[in-house]
Structure 1
Amino acid sequence: RVLFRWRRPSQAAPRGAHAPVMVASAWDFWRSIGSPRHVCAPMVDQSEAAFRVLTRSLGVQLAYTPMLHARLMVEAPAYRAHTFDPEPDGVDRPLVAQLAGHDASVLLAAGRLVQSHVDAVDINFGCPQGIARKGRYGAFLLDEPELTVSLVRALAEGLDVPVTAKVRLLPSVDASVALCRRMQEAGASALCVHGRTKEQNKHRSGPADWAAIARIVEALDIPVIANGGIATADDVAECLARTGAAAVMSSEALLENPALFCANVDPDSGAYLDQPELARRYLRVCRQLPPPTLGHVRSHLFKLLHAPLRHQPLLREDLLEATSLDDVEPVVERLAACSHHQPAFHTPRFDAAASWYWRHRTAAVSADGELGETRGAGGASSPESRSRAELEAAALERRDRRRREKKRRRRQRGAASVAAAPAVAVL
């Protein structure tokens, strides 16, 4: 890695739309981390060190920590130890720590706790979930542009590392461009732009607006990362070409296919990487960098091995009841034997119906497994096969089914604990 000494915006140049020294410093920073093109997104309880290191071995060149709640980072050492997990030997670099919050002093304090372990600190203006509305962070801060800009400025002037921001589009592209320019002027060294609004979420997501991202790239002078609609290696190349962005970021698709950026071809051996092999590699990294809980491991495996788990409910139960990696590994090997249940990414045999990522995006899957898809203007594949009402009803049914399954498993575990308890003599 190139040694790089960051100069704060207040030291580098006066504020203004065209502060050349500030812009030059932003690009110096970008080059110092290798001018990355492939980025692993910040994902709550998902982009932990083990997963980040796995993706780096398969083409990721820059990764983000999970979203870190700034107030909890400052006030709760246990939360900080549980959530912030920089790998100590330098394998997991370059790394960006993402913070969420709305209080500049708290964000600054949290940033100072992590800055010596990362290459930059990012502010989350992109989370569209209801919890972000309640906590007053994420994409809901975009409705408060003065606050948004002031947070970028406070961290850019107060930290010893570059400050970046991850944003979503506003309903107006012109308004998005204007706000991003203000963030640049406030000292942001890079922006990641998700090509959807906060209202475009979950089954309402629709196609990512790459044309809007291209407008922002054209208007800014600092590096821009394009996010949204990155599901295949072809999407990566197309998004870079159509937006002119410095890099592309993937999140959900990368969770199911950590080999997305290398098109499922091992960078060293050239061998094809199927889902069981990716699961094995993830578990091997987990031995070296244990995730905070076994729940993190299970969550990844439910995505990596989505198709065989759907067809093997007993093995799914075994995975849910596992209490250690020693319990998990045999289950993965038994699931690997179900090789006919695979999405086969980046091959002519690709089966969207077998994919976790594509499960709500499939328009039509023909008898031979080919995906019928539609493309929105300026975005990646975003097929729709059912009406919004049908999708919402299906989502509610899945939620209720998961709740029933959790209750049943709790009852089973409780009964097993009672049965295993030694008898107590009553005198």
Structure 2
Amino acid sequence: MYVSHLSLHDFRSYAAVEVPLEAGVTAFVGRNGQGKTNLVEAIDYLSRLQSHRVATDAPLIRAGASQAVVRAAVVRDGRTAVLEAELNAGRANRARVNRSVLPRTRDLVGLVRTVVFSPEDLTLVKGDPSDRRRFLDDLLVLRTPRLAGTRSDYDRVLKQRNSLLKTAGFARGGARDAALATLSVWDDHLARVGGELLAARLALVDALHPYVGKAYATVARGAGRDDAAISYRCSLDTEDATTPESLGQALLAEVERRRGDELDRGISLVGPHRDELVLELGHGGADRLPVKGYASHGESWSFALALRLASYDLLRADGDDPILVLDDVFAELDTERRTQLAELVADAEQVLVTAAVAEDVPAALRGARYRVAAGEVTLEHTGVGTPIADREEEAP
């Protein structure tokens, strides 16, 4: 799978830009603030309908515009499809495949798959539990796009339930009884959707674990496969629950047990939104300690890289190479880690690299190169290193 053409209209800093691409390695080189990350961010947005840089869509629409369009021609198994996301300020977004509008925007998710390495990856290790939950859920949706609906439904139920908890906590008499009766309905919704999301997360962590150990051993100096481990810490007892249904029942029982605490605090205290992806390090698996708070800066970077590499390997094992995006990551790594990462991903079907200077791109990833400056994207070299004078290619 690879993107053969990217077209942007009023996305970030670009009023309009057309970028022909090929399989293999492509580097976007330019000083900070020139728009090189905006290009790879757009491709990642098509994959997940989310940015890896900001939490909402508003900053993605160019200042003064009311709409942004991201369009890409994606080649898979020799066949090309044109994917398009239309971002609208103040109204619903729309998505298209081959110019046909999709019934739901989220149906676009997973049609192109990306794994992004970026300086922000350090938050996977040093950030809040919400950062690690987001990492899991993004990977879940890439592997199983229908779970985008489950994730959205859970967020909606949680928001409604928290509102009811606040209302019931302050209400008295009949108003309180009515709020509690309504709350029990949303408890059932939380258990059903939460059980499905929890089962998917547990299965994902189980599948991802061996890839993390292998990846960490590859990027960390002197490490073995048993040195890095991930596990899932749940907000309820799941020892005897393995299916979405049984996990939902366990969630419902815990909600009922903690009803008083939830009413006092006005928030939902049980469910996947309270869980944690635990990251641990220990030589040979002995005396493992949490990465956060105990690991050195280098070990933290190695673990963050291992999580991304493991994601890539797991998606690849599913039978389809994701597009790799290395967004200004080499500037954050020492020479040894640069070389190791480059050699590990060089054989991917498509690798997109951003860098401030061409010298930051390791030799293993030398390919096509674009110069990005002042809103202009200019092809300087093809994948075989030949300087380019002009090249025109029809936009999708």
Say whether the fold is shared (TM-score over 0.5): no
Q: TM-score under structure 2 normalisation?
A: 0.26
Q: TM-score under structure 1 normalisation?
A: 0.24
- Which one scores higher on RCO, CA 8 angstroms, separation ≥ 6? 2
Higher helix share: 1
